[in-house]
Amino acid sequence: MPIFYEFYRESSIGAALTDSLDELITNGSITPQLAMKVLLQFDKSIAETLAKQVKNKTTVKGHLHNYRLCEDVWTFDVHNAAFKMDGNEVVTAPKVRIVSCKNTESTESK
Q: What are phi and psi of 78, to 5 degrees?
A: -115, 130
40 within 8 A of 2, measured Cβ to Cβ: no
Of the residues 19, 34, 53, the one at which a domain ends? 53
Query: How does residue 108 score in pLDDT terms, banded at 50, 70 and 90?
Result: very low
Query: What pLDDT, on a 0 to 100 scale, did the predictor assign at position 1?
Result: 54
Helix axes 32-53, 12-27, angle to 10 degrees: 160
45 shares its domain with 13: yes
pTM: 0.67
Q: 17-74 pLDDT, tens per residue?
A: 999 999 999 999 999 999 999 999 999 999 889 889 988 888 999 999 999 999 888 9
Of the residues 34, 53, 72, the one at which a domain ends? 53
Range of the structural domain that residue 90 is part of: 58-101
Residue 109 has pLDDT above 70, yes or no: no
